[in-house]
Copies of this chain bind each other. A is one copy, B any other.
Amino acid sequence: MAQRNQDVVLGVDLGGTSFLVAAVDGRGKLLAQASKKTKAERGFEAVVARVAKVARELVKEEHIAPRALCVGVPGALDPSHGVVVKAPNLRWENAPLAKALEKELKLPVSIDNDVNVAVIGEHQFGAARGLQNVVGLWIGTGIGGGVLVGGQLYRGSHGTAGELGHTVLLADGPLCPCGGRGCVEALASRTSIERDVRAALKRGRKSVLQKSLSEEGSKLTSSAIEEALDAEDSLMLEALERACHYLGLLAASVANAFDPEMIVIGGGLASRLGDRFLAPIRRAAQSQLLPRRGHVRIVATELGDRAGAMGAAALASAMPRRRERVSER
Q: Which of B156, B261, B289 contacts A133 (CB 8 A)?
A: B156
A213 at the interface (CB under 8 A from B): no
Task: Knowing A149-B149, A158-B295, A261-B157 are in contact, say whether A287-B180 is a contact too (CB < 8 A).
Answer: yes
**Set of chain B residues within 8 Å of A168, measured between Cβ atoms:** 169, 249-250, 252-253, 288
Provide the residues of chain B in CB contact with A260, threshold 8 Å: 156-157
Residues of chain B contacted by A256 (CB below 8 angstroms): 163-164, 166-167
Contact A259 B159 (CB under 8 A): yes
Question: Contact: A167 with B292, CB < 8 Å?
Answer: no
**Minimal Cβ-Cβ distance residue in B for A163:** B256
> Across the two chains, which residue of chain B brings its CB closest to A76?
B292
Query: Which B residues lie within 8 Å of A182 (CB)?
Result: 249
CB contact list, A126-167 vs B, under 8 A: 132-133, 145, 147, 149, 154-164, 166-167
Do residues A167 and B253 form an inter-chain contact, with CB atoms below 8 A?
Answer: yes
Q: Please indicate which of the listed interface residues A158, A260, A289, A293 has the most CB atoms of chain B within 10 Å of its own CB.
A: A158
Q: CA–CA, A178 to B163, complex, Å?
A: 26
Given known A171-B245, A253-B167, contact A259–B155 (CB-CB < 8 A): yes
Do A149 and B154 have beta carbons less than 8 Å apart? yes
Number of copies of this protein chain within its complex: 2
Cβ–Cβ contact A156 & B259, under 8 A: yes
> What 1/0 flags go to A238-265 for Cβ under 8 Å of B?
0000000110011011101111110000
Given contacts A157-B133, A163-B290, contact A171 B257 (CB under 8 A): no
> Are B158 and A292 in contact, with the CB atoms below 8 A?
yes
Tell me which residues across on chain B come within 8 A of A295, comparing CB atoms.
158
Contact A180–B292 (Cβ < 8 Å): no
CA distance A295 to B158 in the complex (A): 9
Q: Which interface residue of A133, A258, A292 has the most chain B CB atoms within 10 A?
A: A258
- A170 lies within 8 A of chain B by Cβ: yes
Distance in angstroms from A60 CB to nearest chain B CB is 40
Q: Of B166, B181, B246, B258, which one neighbours A171 at CB under 8 angstroms?
A: B246
Give A182 to B288 CA distance when docked, in angstroms.
Answer: 9
* Chain B residues, Cβ within 8 Å of A249: 168, 171, 182
Q: Can you list 30 A-B contacts with CB-CB less than 8 angstroms, sorted by A residue number?
A: A76-B292, A133-B156, A145-B257, A147-B257, A155-B259, A156-B260, A157-B259, A158-B259, A159-B259, A160-B259, A160-B290, A160-B293, A161-B257, A161-B259, A163-B256, A163-B257, A163-B290, A163-B293, A164-B257, A167-B253, A167-B256, A168-B169, A168-B249, A169-B169, A169-B171, A171-B245, A171-B249, A180-B288, A180-B289, A254-B257
Those 3 A-B pairs whose CB atoms lie nearest each other, nearest first: A156-B259, A161-B259, A163-B256
